[in-house]
Amino acid sequence: MGYLDYEKLTTVMRGLALEAGEKIMEIYNSDDFDVKVKSDDSPVTAADEAADALISAGLRAAFPDVLLVTEEQAASHAERADTFLIVDPLDGTKEFINRRGDFTVNIALVENGVPTRGIVYAPAKARMFFTKADGRSVEEAGPFGSVVGHCMPIQVADSDNQALMVVASKSHRDQATDDYIGKYAVKDMKSAGSSLKFCLVATGEADLYPRLGRTMEWDTAAGHAVLSGAGGCVVRFDDLTPLLYGKDSYANPFFIATAPSVVLKEG
């Protein structure tokens, strides 16, 4: 494949995320949109499909030699490579359908099992997080244009283990998650949809995000990259080893996204 130009990647990912976000918001703000159900019973809308087509075409044109794995193209789920781009064109479809705003465009690069670059764009929230070419993460202040605006470096919190801020899923909260959170001294809880939860840990707005439920790699790779670039980490729930990518079927085990200063409890 040769050398991958990270500067170009950052520019392309950001541009495609903005274009996809604009298309998603057109449909989001329309009077009505159809919702279909995929074979795994998950919902899909015209916004998912339109954003996927736009992002896929852009990435394939810019990086024709890099494998592209995307949620909406089942054929890509059978392919494997050490280096690949992975996309969830609309993460948080349930949030989108219910017009709750907590949905994101996720684009990431995985190298040797590790998400090293990524962008998470929440168009309805006007928040954008991405890794720069050097791998460090920033949040760009809107409004977003063709030229990158003011970017603030982001960094995980120096966590107080006696007063933790925990973020959990808005649509997938369950008793097992609550029981695990109960092992910590929690100052406050917040809920968020999609990969925004990773970003809240990355900015220090939360210390800990446990996920005891089904996710796929395209759900998590971009947020994982942003969190890593802000000094955080994502570990498997079962043995607290790093969460790796390129797994069979691209399915994730349960995991914990955290600031490294949090003293993690066993499940």
Query: Cis peptide before 123, with omega less than 30 degrees from 0?
Result: no
Q: Specify the CATH number for 6-153; select among 3.40.50.2000, 3.40.50.1100, 3.30.540.10, 3.40.50.11540.
A: 3.30.540.10
Domain limits, CATH 3.30.540.10, in the chain: 6-153
Question: Would residue 204 be called left, alpha or beta, if left means φ above 0 and alpha means ψ between -120 and 50 degrees?
Answer: left
CB 262 within 8 A of CB 164: yes
What pLDDT is recorded for position 193?
Answer: 81
CB 67 within 8 A of CB 83: yes
- Rg of the Cα trace of the chain? 17
The distance from CA 1 to its chain's CA centroid, rounded to whole angstroms, is: 25
Which tokens sit at 4? 């991958």
3-class DSSP assignment, residue 66: coil
DSSP string, 101-160: S--EEEEEEEETTEEEEEEEEETTTTEEEEE-TTS-EEEE-SS--SS---EEE-------
Looking from the CA of 22 toward its CB, the CA atoms found within 13 Å total 11
* Residues annotated within a binding site: 71, 88, 90-93, 219
Q: How does pLDDT run across 128-151, given as a tens digit for each residue? A: 999 999 999 999 998 999 999 999
Ranges under pLDDT 50 in the chain? 1
Class of CATH domain 164-258: alpha beta
Q: How does pLDDT run across 213-235, given as a tens digit for each residue? A: 999 999 999 999 999 999 999 99
* Residues annotated within a binding site for substrate: 71, 90-93, 219
What pLDDT is recorded for position 72?
Answer: 84
Domain limits, CATH 3.40.190.80, in the chain: 164-258
Which tokens sit at 54? 């736009």
* Residues annotated within a binding site for Mg(2+): 71, 88, 90-91, 219
